[in-house]
Amino acid sequence: MNKTITLLLLLFFLAGCYYDNEEELYPTTNCDTSDMSYSSNILPILQNYGCLTCHSNANPQGSVDLEGYNDVTTWVNNEKLLKSIQHAPDASNMPKSQAKMAECDINKIEAWITNGAPNN
């Protein structure tokens, strides 16, 4: 009997955690990834996650400079930017030592890259 109650409590607890995650709070259906612009969408995302604090022109950690469109495209073209934020196994996970970015923000960057990473 006790085992059943414990199991029910555990299930309840796990369900609670599940509904707390970012995807549930910000469903991808509400994520508008159309017409992504470098200056109005992508740059603010990079700023929000502190990417430019560690990857500035003046002090680019890991020799990764993300300050300015031309510097960003270097890391778009070698595919490391998307891989790092998607936590792909063949790139360092970014933002470094922090939780993965919200799925919607990752999708926006991916959509912008798929669209040819325009300087708009």
**36/85 with CB nearer ligand HEC:** 85
Beta bridge partners of 60: 55
**28/92 with CB nearer ligand HEC:** 92
**50/118 with CB nearer ligand HEC:** 50
Q: Which DSSP string do the residues of 27-83 spell out, in sequence order?
A: -GGG---TT--IIIIIHHHHHHTTHHHHB-SSSBGGG---SSHHHHHHHHHTSHHHH
CB of 13 to ligand HEC, least distance (A): 31
Nearest to 113 by CA among 88, 68, 70, 79: 79
> Which residues contact ligand HEC (rule: CB under 6 A)?
46, 49-51, 53-55, 61-62, 64, 75, 80-81, 84-85, 91-92, 94-96, 101
**6/39 with CB nearer ligand HEC:** 39
Cβ pair 118, 76 in contact under 8 A: no
The residue with its CB nearest to ligand HEC is 62
CB of 107 to ligand HEC, least distance (A): 14
